[in-house]
Amino acid sequence: MTVVASRGSRRRRGTFSVESAIILISFVVIASALAFVVMNMGFHAAQKTKETMERGILEATSALELDGSILAYVDNGAVKYLVIPVKTCVAKSPVDMSNESFVVTISLKSATLLNVYNGTRKLDDLKLDETSLEELFGSAVDMNSSAVACIITGDGDDVLELNEKAFIIVHLESSIRPMSYDVIKIELKSSEGATVIISRQIPPLGLPEKGFVDLG
């Protein structure tokens, strides 16, 4: 293609070759591809940010807290059972306490029990004594360490909801039972929400032969 331009007596001729057109088109195509990549990365980053914020909000709005003092049942001078009262934090989401969604870890002087949780149980008489505690664990009470949750108020499911209360009861096998001065560390972790970490020391003096002790 030839363009003729005139101004007065001067005449100029310019030629736009096919090569120039190809280069121009290439620049346009490359710029379009780069713009698509930049936009796509922006959308991806925005989506990841949204997912991270949603997970953070879910962690912050689904949590347990202590709802009273931790009790220890002492047998022959050593702690045989722990009773931990819990509830959901005010205005927080329900907490699934089924066996597949909840983890209880116990750290003792002589051992660390990575996960002893075995789901929820019914506390028929709403009474805690040695007999009712043994009934909760059945044959395992003489062998393995174990933990169960008893939701004492609510609609009978495995989900701890607002205004409901639960007791997490831990049985410790005889070979690792803590005694005076020993420290117990308990971690409660649900499928969603922050981990609740509790640490208590067994009172140094005055442990009964059998009976409950308030650990605070």
Looking at residue 2, what is its pLDDT?
44
**Three-state SS annotation for 9-25:** CEEEEEECCHHHHHHHH
Q: Which residues pair with 117 in a beta bridge?
A: 147
Give the integer Cα–Cα distance in Å for 134 and 139: 8
Looking at residue 3, what is its pLDDT?
46
Residues of the chain predicted below pLDDT 70 = 1-19, 21, 42-62, 90-92, 139-142
Give the integer Cα–Cα distance in Å for 123 and 28: 74
pTM of this prediction?
0.69
Q: Is 198 exposed, middle or buried (0-12, 13-18, 19+ CB in 10 A)?
A: middle
Looking at residue 1, what is its pLDDT?
46
- Fill in the amino acid letter for 153: T
Looking at residue 139, what is its pLDDT?
63
Looking at residue 54, what is its pLDDT?
55
